Amino acid sequence: MVDSMWHHIFFMCLAEPLKPQYGGGILVNPGFNNGLRGWSKFGPGKIEQRVSKGGNNFIVAHSRKEPYDSFSQKLYMKKELLYTFSAWIQVSEGKAPVTAVFKTASGFMNAGTVRAEAGCWSMLKGGLTVNVSGPAEVYFESKNIGVEIWVDSVSLQPFTQEQWRSHQDESIEKARKTRVRFHVANPDGTSLAGAIVSISIKKASFPFGCAITSSILNNVAYQNWFTSRFSVTVFQNEMKWYSIENIQGKEDYSVADAMVAFAKKNGIPIRGHNILWDDPQYQLNWVNSLGQDQLRAAVQKRVNSIVTRYEGQVIGWDVVNENMHFNFVESRLGGNTSTEVFQTAHNLDPNTPMFINEYNTIEDSRDPTVTPDKYLAKLGEVQNQGPTAIGLEGHFHTPNIPYMRASIDRLAAAKLPIWLTEVDVDRGPNQATFLEKILREGHAHPAVQGMLMWAGWEPNVSNYRMRLTDDDFKNVPTGDVVDQLINEWRPANIAGATNKDGFFEVSLFHGEYVVKVSHPLRNSSRTTHSLKVVPRTVNENTFHVKIQA
């Protein structure tokens, strides 16, 4: 159970709702200060306006017979726009999930879900894009038809693609970059105008990587392609239980060990994926055949074996992978098993973050299993077992970027590390475009601390969900997108001249740089310096350089 402290942090609930974001955006009467103007009954239930003791107006759906019995507003939505959505929700008794649904020209779309409760207001934050421009209708639903749905301060705000990109750029500037001033002076301390400052990056701070497969071990072309681009990795299958102990009692770590050695040699950190996987279809036959006591012993042995072997050598462990969708170990060994595994793994490797790793929290607003609120509740169960982190797999079909942002916003309330751990996109004509949108959104969000794509290479495999190159390591369109973003986030060379006061100012991504300073009139004078750019902690960020006469 989530204790009261975690409940307070994760599930902020206010006595009175805040005002509508963006003044309600394009919605009519978003705060219900003009009765029910703009709103209509949706379904066979009843609706009415009520006023709180503090004088706040809100709308109520009661006498509900169906989950969708509530209230709605009709509007017109445009295909090319991105819509953020929010509302403050309460239910009349207990707790119940409430979802905002849009009935659009191409079908029904969930904009977001919140776990509402009686006695206080919770914020539903979400968003959506539509496939076709046309009339739409927003309404609310809850499968618990025994509760009244109370809603206030509703907002639907459209943004153009340009406005959205501008916000991403602003966020990147603030979260990923720092402005640095270079001051170049003569030996006597006088400022030197016209000095050339050349800056080249050695290592970017933001971890951006891709999964690898064992094929990398004996393929120099694969090695060169990978190491020239990525700063973090994860093994697609080689650390998994079925790869290590295919036959009961016969563990074989040789391939995983070789891949760890390869990554270490190239200075590339590794995510540990995974200790256990809760999906029944990926259990070995010998595991499935075990009785309860035998299985408990086998699970304990597996956890001890892999975590002990790679203790301190990975930057995070996916502990019980996809544990919110599946429950193989819990169904056999009891409901607390996953929490116990988190505790065991933490005891064995106490300084490494233990990840909940799940899909559809940011990809699909229709999946009720892993809404941001349910993810936060799961975090509350395992948080006390040691340093915990949030793993969002990111297996996208058609991305809903506003919903992705809203979900990460919601999870950021936990103030824990958030990673996109397995990003890929379904094959199709828009695959590369969609991949770029997803990666840009992840990189722009200040709560995201790293991103990995799920595109490990194998030779002669035609059924890749997403690949970045062909078999000769020539980029396909998704690979072009990745290279474009790497060049953007890790610019090779930046140069400029100092002004009359000896200053040159530039905004740099966080990372390690080599700085060379010279002057066109002093061919023999050149100085080289190391520079580490970190998030700004003081107002002054001036790098002072003296150049010899």
Active-site residue list: 322, 422
Cβ atoms of 502 and 517 closer than 8 Å: no
Specify whether the backbone of 139 is left (phi greater than 0), alpha (psi in -120 to 50) or beta. beta
Q: Which amino acid is at 178?
A: T
End-to-end CA distance of the chain: 70
Q: Which residues pair with 84 in a beta bridge?
A: 127, 157
* Strand ranges inside 236-277, DSSP E: 270-271, 276-277
Q: Contact at 8 Å (CB) between 548 and 226?
A: no
Distances (CA, A) of 486 to 204, 208, 279, 494: 10, 8, 34, 15
**Distance (Å, rounded) from C-alpha 444 to C-alpha 164?**
11
- Give the tokens for residue 249: 């009692």
468 with 223: CB under 8 angstroms? Answer: no
Task: Give the phi and the psi of residue 84 in degrees, each rounded to 5.
Answer: -95, 145
Strand ranges for 351-411 from DSSP E: 354-358, 388-392, 395-396
Q: Phi and psi of 178, rounded to 5°? A: -140, 140
- Whole-angstrom Cα Rg for the chain: 27
**Cα–Cα dist 206/361, whole Å:** 22
How far is it, in rounded angstroms, from Cα 462 to Cα 482? 21
Q: How far apart are CA 473 and CA 468, in angstroms?
A: 8
C-alpha distances out from residue 67 to 31, 100, 145, 295, Å: 23, 12, 6, 41
Token pair in block for residue 491? 């610019």
SS3 string of 450-498?
EEEECCCCCCCCCCCCCCCECCCCCECHHHHHHHHHHHHHCCCEEEEEC
Number of H helices, E strands in the chain: 13, 28
